Structure formats: structure tokens, C-alpha cells
Amino acid sequence: MINQVIIVEGRDDTRRLREVFGEIDTIETQGSAVPETILAQIETIAQTREIVILTDPDFNGERIRRKVLEVVPEAKQAFLPRSQAKPNGKGSLGVEHASAEDLRACLKNILSTDTTEVDLIPREVLMYFGLIAGPEAKHRRELLGDRLHIGYANGKQLAAKLQMFQITLSELKAAMAEIETEMA
């Protein structure tokens, strides 16, 4: 049973989570604009219950995630890889398209942000690992985001996202070693 309140984008996400987990409490943001009333509701519930953000792995999902984190910085975060959120037919990426197995794995890897500072991983290191400014950089960032369960970040966002989730240089090196083995 999931005791946290899951923040999702819409009713299709809630429906899918309930198909997989049974009764589960969600708050629907009603899209990326996230009305102030919804943010206030999330802030109120966070005083007594743990909040988990599970939004679509796209631009709007990241926008919602940032807005919720502004009002509840201690919220836990779950990330669904883009490959697991693809619709069978036409349509956009979405939590509602994920398999039961993928949703279980996603919520098993709930991350929280930590307010203690970890050093920013230098740009040169990210370039060395081919995560920025290379022909396969986007693909490598996708694999890294999936491996570390932190979601996708573009080249400009990557260092800040690694810092926010307290990913150390040694954790980055270990993840990249696994990715290099996969790609070989």
C-alpha cells in the first residue's frame, strides 16, 4: 500500500495508478498551469502526509514538478523514463501509458532532494563522459537519467540536476561505466 499522496497531471494518470495499486491518493494538477488553489492544497496536505511528484517525462511535466517543489521543497520525486511513457498509438508521453511493472519500479525508486550541498560536477567531466556537446550526448543523458532515476535533463540542466539529487562524482562514474558497458 502506498501511504504517500501522489501528484499527477490528470485523471488518466490517477485512473492508471489505481488500476495498478488499488486505492491510492492523488492530487491532479489539471495541466502545467497548476492553479494556485491546487498548489495551496498540496502545501496543506504536505504538512501531514508525504508528497511524491510523478509527472509525465516531458517539458510540461518538468514545469509542474518545479512549481510543486517551490511550495513543497521536501517533496519526494519519482521519474518515469520517456521510453516507458510512450503511447501505443498516437498521443503524447504520459504516466497513463506505463505498464504496471514500470510504475511499480518507478515508485520503488522514489528520490528526495537534500538541502546539504554537494559540489557541482564540472562541465569538463560531463564532456569527458559524452553527456554534453557530443553526437550521442542526448542518448547518454537519457540513459543516465534512467539509471540514476532522476529523469531526463538537457545539457544545460544536467549539472544542476545531479547536484539537486546529491549525485556524487563517484556515483556518476559508476553509472557511466555501466552505460558504457551497455552501449558497447
pTM confidence score: 0.72
Cα–Cα nearest to 152, from 79, 88, 63, 51: 79
Q: Are 28 and 5 in contact (CB under 8 A)?
A: no
Q: Residues 45, 27: contact at Cβ < 8 Å?
A: yes
* Phi, psi torsion values for 8, nearest 5 degrees: -130, 170
Per-residue pLDDT of 2-26, as tens digits, reads 788 999 999 999 999 999 998 889 9
Residues 139-155: pLDDT tens digits?
A: 999 999 888 878 788 88
Q: Give the pLDDT confidence score for residue 3 in this predicted structure.
A: 81
Q: How confident is the model over 155-162, as a mean pLDDT?
A: 85
Residue type present at position 129: F
Convert the pLDDT of each residue in 54-97 to its tens digit. 999 998 999 999 999 999 999 999 999 888 888 887 878 899 99
CA pair distance 38, 43, nearest whole angstrom: 9
Between 3.40.1360.10, 3.30.360.10, 3.40.50.1370, 2.102.10.10, what CATH number should domain 5-112 receive?
A: 3.40.1360.10
Longest dimension (CA), the chain: 50
pLDDT of residue 114: 54
Q: Report which of residues 182 and 166 the model is more confident about.
A: 182
Structural domain boundaries in the chain: 5-112, 123-183
Q: Binning pLDDT at 50, 70 and 90, where does residue 120 land? A: confident
Q: How does residue 31 score in pLDDT terms, banded at 50, 70 and 90?
A: confident
- pLDDT value for 111: 60
Distance between CA atoms of residues 60 and 37, nearest Å: 19
